[in-house]
Structures are given as C-alpha cells and as structure tokens.
Amino acid sequence: MEYSFTRYLAAKQSIDDRSLNHGVYAALADDLPDEPLAILEAGAGTGTMIDRLAARGLLSRGGHYTAVDSDPGNIAAARARLGPVDLPVSVEFVTADILEFALRERVRRWDLLIANAFLDLADVDRLLPHLFALLNPGGHFYFTINFDGLTLLEPPLDPELDERVIGLYHRTMDERRVDGRPTGGSRAGRALLGQIPAAGGEILAAGSSDWVVLPRRGVYPGDEAYFLRHLLHFFEESLTGRPELEPGRLAHWLARRHAQIDAGELILIAHQLDVCGLV
C-alpha cells in the first residue's frame, strides 16, 4: 500500500473535529476580542483548522489568516482545497520552517497563534519564545492535539508484545531530534503546562483531546480506516531495525493489526491535551 501524508492529514480531520476539547475552545472564544483578527498557524498542514474555525464561527469576525507549513505538498493541497471556498477572512499560505519564519519576521504581529498536532514534533523550549514574540500584547494562543503519553490499541493481541511495541514507539518520540535538539516527545502535552509559563505565556484553560477511533457496525466513518493504516505505517517506519524487537515479530504484529482493520475491529485511543491562553 502506498502512503500519503497529505491523505493522512485529510483522514484525521473528522477525528480532530470530535476530539478537540470544547471547554478549552470556549475559553479561547470567550476571551478573544469581537473584532477582526490576525491569525498565525504554525504547522498548518492542509488547512483543516481553517475549515474548523470557519464552521465554529470564530472567523466571522473577519481579518487575515497566515498558514505556515514546511511541506510544499501540504501547502499546495491547502491552496487547491480552500481556493474556491468563500471565507470571511483573507488567507495567506506560506511554505517555510516556522522557526525560520519567526526569526525573519521583523514587522508583522498577530492576535492569535495556533498549532494543531504540531508542538509535539517541535523543539518547544527553543521555538515557543520566538512564536510568542510574534503576538501583539495580550495576544492569544491555541495549542491543540498535543500527544501525552498514552496509546491504546484494542482488542489486545499479545499483551507483552503490545506493551513492548507501543513502549518502543513512544521511546522513538523521546529520541527524535531536530537539528540535534529534542522535540516535544511522548509527554509533550503535560510538558507544555510548564513550558508555556516559562516562555511568558499565561494558561487560561487546558483539557484532554483524546483521539477515539472505532468502527460503527463494523465500518469506520469517512477515511478513518486509512488513518489507522497510516498510523501503523508510522509504527513500521519507527520500529524497523530496532534491536529490541525481532523483525518477524513486528511484521506479524503489524499484519494482525491490519487484519483487525479489515474486519472492522481495531479501536484506537490516544491521550492528548489542548491548551489556550495569552501573552
């Protein structure tokens, strides 16, 4: 099977939609001024957050939305998908590394900073102060779907092997480096609760935004079966060649998990956190 990260982002849109914490979103929406907003999104992907905020009425204030992503394919998909859509804000798509974007931006400032399912992949201690510097005084942030240390796949296969595979997968998150520096890791969500104040931010609300993906009468909604397959592909990419796990056991485990998707049986639960606040 060929895997597409752009398709993965599209497939998880429905999952993110139902997972985002309603209390955190409400706290953000209630605290924002009722006026046009300059919004900056880091790691914007294919622009699904723009859809989401438009549907929830947040963009009805008007203003300008700057969507930054380092992957040209994601930006191209966002342009193609949202180009014909009549939105209440103007949208600017930028292909750039968000840290490089922040370091070179000397003039513009924004009212709201968004990062969805992104900060656990970034060097937050280094990045966050530069992102906060892009906000106007009293500007807000909304950081969503930050992974926080729990992945469950049900029903179990071999409990010992399940625990080993998932534990090693989490370890690869902790070992991941960007330019030689660690990223958010497998407990990025809870780490943000300390990193945000350290970078000069004030947290207004925080809450869980767990992914729960399960079939309904043996059928996954939308493209969520593909989402699960792509998640297993992440496992395969991350764990192939690890000396702690025999290749044959990993291949057999992956094949059985794919068979569970075929049968409409596999359930995923992943724990994440949403946080909003101001600087």
Neighbours of 38 (CB within 10 A): 18
Confidence of residue 180 (pLDDT cuts 50, 70, 90): confident
Query: For residue 182, what pLDDT is reported?
Result: 75
Q: Which of 25-34, 116-125, 169-178, 265-274 has the lowest mean pLDDT?
A: 169-178
The answer to whether the CB of 111 falls within 8 A of the CB of 136 is yes
Confidence of residue 134 (pLDDT cuts 50, 70, 90): very high
Does residue 178 register a pLDDT over 80?
no
> In a 3-state reduction of DSSP, which class is residue 24?
helix
Tokens of 171: 């370890």
Which residue has better confidence, 261 or 179? 261
pLDDT in tens, 2-14: 999 999 999 999 9
pLDDT in tens, 84-93: 889 999 999 9
Tokens of 243: 């000396």
Mean predicted lDDT score pLDDT of the chain:
95
| pTM, entire model | 0.94
Closest CA to 19 of 189, 138, 155: 189
The answer to whether the CB of 165 falls within 8 A of the CB of 234 is no
Domains of the chain plus CATH, in order, are: 7-278 (3.40.50.150)
CA distance 279 to 31: 13
Element of type H or E holding 128: helix 124-132
Confidence of residue 17 (pLDDT cuts 50, 70, 90): very high
